[in-house]
Structure 1
Amino acid sequence: MLTAILTGFLFAIFLVFAGKFFRGKLAILSSLIPLGLFIYFIRFIGEIANGEIITRTYSWIPSFNVDLSFKLDGLSMLFTLMITGIGFLVFLYTSSYLKGHKYLDRFYGYLGLFMAAMLGLVLSDNMITLFTFWELTSISSFFLIGFNNDSEASRKSAMTALGITGIGGLLLLAAALLLNYISGTYSISEMLTMGEAIRSNQLYPLAVILIFGAAFTKSAQFPFHFWLPGAMKAPTPVSTYLHSATMVKAGIYLLMRFSPILGGEDIWSYTLIIVGAITMLYSAIHTIFRTDLKGVLAYSTISALGILVFLIGFGTEEAYLAAAVFIIVHALYKATLFLVTGIIDHQTHTRDVTRLSGLFKIMPLVGVAAILGAISSGGIPPSIGFVGKELIYESTSKAEWMVILMVIAIVSTKILLLYAGFVAGIKPFTGKLPENLQNTKKPGIILWAPPLLLGALGIVLGIAPFLIEGALIKPLVTAMGVDASEIHLALWHGFNEVLLLSAITIGIGTALYFLIKPSAKLENGIAKLDAIAPENLLWKFNGGFKIFSQYWTRFFQNGYLRNYISTIILFTVGVVGYIMLRDGRFEIDYMRLTETTISEIVVTLVLIAGCIYTVFTRSRLAAVVAMGVIGWSICLIFVFYSAPDLAMTQFSIDTLTVILFVLVLYKLPRYLKLSDYKTRIRDGVLSTVFGVMIAMIALEVLAVPANTEIGDYYAEKAYIAAHGKNVVNVILVDFRGADTMIEISVLSIAALGVFGLMKLRLRKSERRHYD
């Protein structure tokens, strides 16, 4: 299973070296990667259908209880087949859609990374592993959305998507740490056995909020939805793969995976129902006001995601069944319509639905695929969309909370989604062909075959839903902790109130299609409300935060080192001093203090004199020399207390510092301009308080019995394990070798920078510029 996940990463690495071979006719071979993975995973359908769960565990960070744990059950099975199955068609489609593109190999690399990350996400059984792949999907989608990086709009959309989903990733990490604190494990399977204990914990509401934050940002729930329409700046294969079948459903997967663990409580159910209802209705209404085909599909995608969140919130067997079927329904018809939109854009160079009609005469097979997708989108029999819609209505009609309002909301949403599906799938192909499109070329088979296959599959599964009943639906519902033995899918359930709701949906939705024509007037009308749209409110907040940050930076990061040091010292005095005063006790063990010698008194007096002279002298060079005297005095103290290595280091650093300062400062003015009287008093008081506090802490430390365990360990192991007689050197080179190596690297880099500045030779004009 790990090999299957790594295949996508290895493919991306392979393209770094052999990418040029995949920019031409060989590009189609890249589709063999997802096809092979699809065949690999489909082999497990029989085992999963029989109730088996396939697990694989690889040790990763055992000290932190983090393993590469993977689980293939009914829930992950459905998602892996969507990721690889639709991935195969997208890879195939891309070979023709981006044919001849100079960065086609790079695009395939990003697709491979994303596919591998999504597989890792849905198969992970460890929350840290899940988080890792979750973030990889955000990063890879950033590159895919911003693939046309010469476009400012694409770059902005990619940054927005990364920002929103990145916040969700941080919340998911926080949720993982919190759930580990509650349950004592990162294993999702182990958490499933502790659901009741987790829900009864006082931190349960916080864990739910964090999971919601991750899921809502990833699956574009209101008010975080706006990143998804903006992501439509990406090439159509990206929109098809990421925003209809895979990435945006990662949040749905997260909610479904954690429903048995966190579900069942009011905060879980009511939040999901309310957020889902607002998202699905709000986004469905937006489809009326869009003229860009991808814009229509983007908002209908958000609406469909809202329906899934809405259903998960109910938490019943009927709702889980409806959600399971609708995931398949949406993946099939939305991928179909996105691919058809890409063909239209590729052949006609426009996605403006007001300028498109009559294309059936030029591309009939594409028109068939689009119509099949629209039928499934609208829930019209005999499509699988009709089966899914009936299940949604049935589960909603059994709601225990505001059932009438819930039914009205879901029916209204489905009516608008039928309208959106007809606009995207039927309108461009019916009516009279405009003159400017008369010379439109027919697409090749590689372009029209994938959407036609997906559209036909939506009809086949509607006529024969038993094909997915036992293989996919029942195992998924079982994975969510519900008995699925009585589940039976059928196209016809007889005459009942659910069928009546379906008829109302089809009738009103069709009427809307003929009554409301997409127009620039409608789009401009909704644009007047952009000022209060969540996206613009966020950008206004960002603008205000930027202004605040500028004032904050100017106040604290004002360029004066003395102010930085004063702030740090003041903060330290405040915090440490408060703790010391709160405890109210200072223990000084005078018996541990050694007798003062005349040499120590002399050195101390010299040190004090150096400090006083440094503070009050008006000469820069004199201050530097006095600071050198202070450093050498400290060297002597180290010598007195048998630390020659420290003394040597201190002596070298102080000597070098004095020399460097003299070389730099001899060209500066001879005298210092001392600060005003009040500032000097302030700094003097602050430094005195800080010095006294440090002295008291040092004296109090002496009263604490020394723990020699660590020192004894190093002393014992220095010669035996590291074969060194100097314990300090052994610690630096062997026991703390990584730290020392990093410090040496930093010094080397700094030395290279200094060397470069010393060798820099500027022209006179350049010198004046930098001066």
Structure 2
Amino acid sequence: MQRGTFLTFIVLLLPLLGAALAPLLTRWAGGKAGWLLAIVPSLVFLHFLGMLGMVSEGQPITGGFDWIPSLGVRFSWLLDGLSLTFALLISGIGTLILIYAGGYLDGHPQQGRFFSFILLFMGAMLGLVVSDSFLMLFVFWELTSITSFLLIGFDHEREASRRAALQALLVTGLGGLSLLAGLLVVTQATGFNDLSTLLGSGDALRSSPLYMAAFVLVLGGAFTKSAQFPFHFWLPNAMEAPTPVSAYLHSATMVKAGVYLLMRLNPVMGDTAAWETVLPLFGGTTLLVGTLLAVRQTDLKLMLAYTTVASLGLLVMLTGFGSELAVEAAVLYLIAHSLFKGALFMVAGLLDHETGTRDVTALGGLRKAMPITFAAALLAALSMGGLPLFFGFLAKEEIYAALGFGNGWAALATLVAVAGNSLMFAVAFAVALKPFIGAERKTPKQAHEGPVSLWLGPLVLALAGLLAGLASGWVHAGFSSPMASAVAGRAVEVTISTVPHIGMALLLSAVTVGLGIAAYLSLGTLRGGMAALLTTIGWGPDRGFDQFVRGMLHASVGVTRIVQNGRMDTYMTVTFVCVAAVLLVPMILFGEFPAVPVFPDLQLHEWAIILMAVIGIGAVVYAKSRLVAIVSLGIQGLAVALLFMLFGAPDLSFTQFMIETLSVVILALVMTRLRLALSDHRPLGQKLFDMSVAGLCGAGFGLLLLKVTQQPFNDALSQFFNAYSRTIAHGRNVVNVIIVDFRGFDTLGEIAVVMITGLAILALIRIRAKPDAGKAKEIGR
């Protein structure tokens, strides 16, 4: 492994190592643990920052090593403009989140567990965005779902937290299965199992007849992860998690995993009618639904959560729109959103931590008590509102330049974007202004500015949104252009600056600001109207999720009562029917019946053995008691043992003799100890059905064995065992060497099965019927 490859591998492992040490470090360092653990993501950030020069010049960095060489699976990574930007956002914001969490959860008895979970998530998300191998991508994709489940349900004593965690896990977990199926279809369609090769394959996937199947399955994974309508409901419910989780997972990182996947696959799956119709349709719907639900809320975190849903919809709509400007707009908005939304979430948590409430209607006049928090909130809101000098302004200008009014579809998308951005403007300033201006309100806790660990993160992210807008040329050269190039699949140069350009985009921005101010001033009316509308509608996807889970539980109980009814005869019948179907159905469907063999000329003793087997079968069928049937059943085994002996396999014959003798003895012993009817009382119809099933199983096995014996014999294994039994295993008896050495684990497994069976038989024999209460009293007297 080369030095650079080894170093990147170690860097990817750093968050996982930090997670292992977090509980111990927290017990040792106490309140300073957040600052110390922040060193881990800061080192990751610096490592990836060092790659910025090469990647910005258009040179992707790949690396890795063979993971499962026999299957062609590699642990490999791809670092281009898209994955590197995500890695820097994850590690950079992660550094601030760990510091913030140290202050937010200071004194919490489970703070060490929290740090461990969030570092595990950080490692999973880093692995996801840098993965090149499909398998590696899926493994980290599912790991983000598992770790987010742990974080959302961190306060596991509250029912709401447990429900939200389970809901997020089920929704994103089902989406993960859809993604796995999609990646398998992509591999089947193209023959590639890594992103770097797939991205260089041109139209291989788009021209495949499997494209539509891959498209639907991949969208299933992306839409559930990035909370697209109608799967949006899990993200606001996830606000039951502590605020550091909300600020990190559900604004800057995890919920953008679906958007990342769509952006990553845009060069090979985009530019089709399906892509450019479905993504804008669902993205636009999600944008409107998210913003309308946001104005309904009074909880600061829920207001921000629903605008996150809306922002993800906007990103999906832009990614699917297809044009180069739309790709640039999506890239700019993704970066801007990560900065301002992470800051605002931390502001919401800081207000809750210092005042004891997140209800925007119960807050006011905190500007003097919390001046730094107010400054951070205002700066972040200015970027979210898309006002000049901020990076959010560049994103909004590029959105309107990309959509425009070129045709009816573009005009509709533009109107949706204006409406959504206007409502997000109103929510942004509701969060940033209403708690701080106006008359001071009495809060559950005496309000005061939080410690540096709480206001550092939001202030840095808010200032970053301003500095990125002012230094847009440098940001475009290092981040925006390489990222847009990776999403578009060709070289793209982003040139937009903070200097307003007179045109349609600026006019639409002005309209957005005007509508946003009007919505902000009438927020109470809008909230009441949405509340009335939702009450009228009643049902929603969140309630539908509960109904779905209850329905699945009832269905599973019903199915269990049918297939697990406690009757051994039912289990045996189902098992043998399935065996017969597996053996015979493929032969019937594909015409794979064996050729009719020529009946050989048999000698007298061979006829005698066959006759003995037939007599044994008749004895089993016509036996009047179960004990006689068991003894008669051993006749077939003895006949087979005689055949082995006659055809030169005395060791197999001896083994068969032992098995049949022991089986008959043990079964007879068990039958005498269990309280079973001596004779078979099944009705005639049941006997005929069971006989048919047994006959079909026997026919299936017989036909399968005939088919196998009619295939050309491959003696490669025979030659191998003959050549190496003596030289490697030092044994002359090839059969014994195979059983003991070459198949030693098989033999061990068979011994374990026999042992478990013996223990089960012993347990059955030792069962004693308990006397009923009446008899017990009589005995006592």
> Normalization by structure 2: what TM-score?
0.90
Distance verdict in 2 for CA 1:47–1:763, change over 3 Å: farther
Alpha-carbon distance between aligned partners in 2 of 1:740 and 1:348, rounded to the nearest angstrom:
68
Alpha-carbon distance between aligned partners in 1 of 2:471 and 2:221, rounded to the nearest angstrom:
36
Equivalent residue for 2:113? 106
Equivalent residue for 2:517? 510
**Aligned residues of 1:268 and 1:313 also touching (Cα < 8 A):** yes
Quote how far apart the aligned CAs of 1:155 are. Answer: 1.7
Alpha-carbon distance between aligned partners in 1 of 2:394 and 2:420, rounded to the nearest angstrom:
17
Say whether residues 1:449 and 2:449 are aligned partners: no
Match of 1:153 among 160, 178, 191: 160
Say whether residues 1:202 and 2:221 are aligned partners: no
Cα distance per residue 1:17-65 (max 9 Å; x no partner): 6663355433421110001111111112222222222221312223333
Say whether residues 1:230 and 2:237 are aligned partners: yes
Equivalent residue for 1:388? 395
Cα distance per residue 1:578-605 (max 9 Å; x no partner): 55567496523437x473443x555544
Alpha-carbon distance between aligned partners in 2 of 1:67 and 1:117, rounded to the nearest angstrom:
17
**Aligned residues of 2:259 and 2:312 also touching (Cα < 8 A):** yes
> Normalization by structure 1: what TM-score?
0.91
Alpha-carbon distance between aligned partners in 1 of 2:242 and 2:771, rounded to the nearest angstrom:
50
Quote how far apart the aligned CAs of 1:337 are. Answer: 0.9
- SS of the aligned residue for 2:62 comes to strand
Alpha-carbon distance between aligned partners in 2 of 1:694 and 1:755, rounded to the nearest angstrom:
32
Q: Which structure 2 residues correspond to residues 267-346 of structure 1 after superposition, within 5 A? A: 267-346=274-353
Equivalent residue for 1:566? 573
Distance verdict in 2 for CA 1:750–1:672, change over 3 Å: closer
Q: Which structure 2 residues correspond to residues 511-530 of structure 1 after superposition, within 5 A? A: 511-517=518-524, 524-528=531-535
- SS of the aligned residue for 2:230 comes to coil
Alpha-carbon distance between aligned partners in 1 of 2:432 and 2:415, rounded to the nearest angstrom:
25
**Aligned residues of 1:715 and 1:727 also touching (Cα < 8 A):** yes
**Aligned residues of 1:291 and 1:518 also touching (Cα < 8 A):** no
Alpha-carbon distance between aligned partners in 2 of 1:7 and 1:382, rounded to the nearest angstrom:
36
Cα distance per residue 1:642-670 (max 9 Å; x no partner): 44444444444444444544454424145
Q: Which structure 2 residues correspond to residues 169-248 of structure 1 after superposition, within 5 A? A: 169-248=176-255
Match of 2:645 among 639, 642, 647: 639
Alpha-carbon distance between aligned partners in 1 of 2:766 and 2:472, rounded to the nearest angstrom:
76
**Aligned residues of 2:227 and 2:255 also touching (Cα < 8 A):** yes
Distance verdict in 2 for CA 1:444–1:734, change over 3 Å: same
- SS of the aligned residue for 1:206 comes to helix
Match of 1:432 among 419, 428, 439: 439
Quote how far apart the aligned CAs of 1:709 are. Answer: 2.7
Alpha-carbon distance between aligned partners in 2 of 1:445 and 1:117, rounded to the nearest angstrom:
28
Q: Which structure 2 residues correspond to residues 31-180 of structure 1 after superposition, within 5 A? A: 31-180=38-187
Alpha-carbon distance between aligned partners in 2 of 1:689 and 1:761, rounded to the nearest angstrom:
38
Distance verdict in 2 for CA 1:203–1:669, change over 3 Å: closer
Distance verdict in 2 for CA 1:53–1:584, change over 3 Å: closer
Say whether residues 1:7 and 2:14 are aligned partners: yes
Alpha-carbon distance between aligned partners in 1 of 2:586 and 2:193, rounded to the nearest angstrom:
36
- SS of the aligned residue for 2:76 comes to strand
**Aligned residues of 1:23 and 1:105 also touching (Cα < 8 A):** no
**What amino acid is aligned across from residue 71 of structure 2 in structure 1?**
F
Quote how far apart the aligned CAs of 1:306 are. Answer: 0.6
Match of 1:461 among 460, 468, 473: 468
**Aligned residues of 1:5 and 1:117 also touching (Cα < 8 A):** no
Task: Give RMSD over aligned pairs.
Answer: 3.1
Cα distance per residue 1:429-466 (max 9 Å; x no partner): 22222224462343111111111111122122223322
**What amino acid is aligned across from residue 512 of structure 1 in structure 2?**
A
Alpha-carbon distance between aligned partners in 2 of 1:432 and 1:754, rounded to the nearest angstrom:
81
**Further displaced range: 564-573 or 377-386:** 564-573
Cα distance per residue 1:282-304 (max 9 Å; x no partner): 11111111122111111100100
Alpha-carbon distance between aligned partners in 2 of 1:736 and 1:380, rounded to the nearest angstrom:
72
Distance verdict in 2 for CA 1:26–1:299, change over 3 Å: closer
Distance verdict in 2 for CA 1:596–1:522, change over 3 Å: farther
Distance verdict in 2 for CA 1:305–1:152, change over 3 Å: same
Alpha-carbon distance between aligned partners in 2 of 1:88 and 1:688, rounded to the nearest angstrom:
69
Alpha-carbon distance between aligned partners in 2 of 1:93 and 1:565, rounded to the nearest angstrom:
60
Distance verdict in 2 for CA 1:24–1:399, change over 3 Å: same
Say whether residues 1:590 and 2:598 are aligned partners: yes
Structure 1 alignment gaps of length 5 or more: none
Alpha-carbon distance between aligned partners in 1 of 2:387 and 2:753, rounded to the nearest angstrom:
67
**Aligned residues of 1:107 and 1:147 also touching (Cα < 8 A):** yes
Distance verdict in 2 for CA 1:197–1:638, change over 3 Å: same
Alpha-carbon distance between aligned partners in 2 of 1:543 and 1:415, rounded to the nearest angstrom:
39
**What amino acid is aligned across from residue 264 of structure 2 in structure 1?**
R
Distance verdict in 2 for CA 1:629–1:267, change over 3 Å: same
Say whether residues 1:548 and 2:555 are aligned partners: yes
Distance verdict in 2 for CA 1:596–1:229, change over 3 Å: farther
Distance verdict in 2 for CA 1:4–1:529, change over 3 Å: farther
- SS of the aligned residue for 1:200 comes to coil
- SS of the aligned residue for 1:428 comes to coil
**Further displaced range: 104-113 or 756-765:** 756-765
**Aligned residues of 2:405 and 2:414 also touching (Cα < 8 A):** no
- Number of residue pairs aligned between Structure 1 and Structure 2: 765
Distance verdict in 2 for CA 1:481–1:594, change over 3 Å: farther
Distance verdict in 2 for CA 1:732–1:341, change over 3 Å: farther
**Further displaced range: 712-721 or 520-529:** 520-529
- SS of the aligned residue for 1:162 comes to helix
Distance verdict in 2 for CA 1:122–1:694, change over 3 Å: closer
- SS of the aligned residue for 2:506 comes to helix
Alpha-carbon distance between aligned partners in 2 of 1:432 and 1:520, rounded to the nearest angstrom:
21
Quote how far apart the aligned CAs of 1:235 are. Answer: 0.9
Alpha-carbon distance between aligned partners in 1 of 2:303 and 2:50, rounded to the nearest angstrom:
37
**Further displaced range: 400-409 or 1-10:** 400-409
Alpha-carbon distance between aligned partners in 2 of 1:528 and 1:750, rounded to the nearest angstrom:
61
**What amino acid is aligned across from residue 440 of structure 1 in structure 2?**
A
- SS of the aligned residue for 2:524 comes to coil
**What amino acid is aligned across from residue 75 of structure 1 in structure 2?**
L
**Further displaced range: 542-551 or 747-756:** 747-756
Quote how far apart the aligned CAs of 1:132 are. Answer: 1.6
**What amino acid is aligned across from residue 367 of structure 1 in structure 2?**
F
**Aligned residues of 1:182 and 1:201 also touching (Cα < 8 A):** yes
Distance verdict in 2 for CA 1:96–1:264, change over 3 Å: same
Equivalent residue for 2:4? none
Match of 1:266 among 273, 291, 303: 273
**Aligned residues of 1:531 and 1:537 also touching (Cα < 8 A):** no
Say whether residues 1:473 and 2:499 are aligned partners: no
Percent identity reads 38
Equivalent residue for 2:415? 408
Distance verdict in 2 for CA 1:371–1:741, change over 3 Å: farther
Quote how far apart the aligned CAs of 1:520 are. Answer: 8.4
Equivalent residue for 2:3? none
Cα distance per residue 1:86-107 (max 9 Å; x no partner): 0000011111111122222221
Quote how far apart the aligned CAs of 1:674 are. Answer: 0.9
**Aligned residues of 2:329 and 2:395 also touching (Cα < 8 A):** yes
- SS of the aligned residue for 1:493 comes to coil
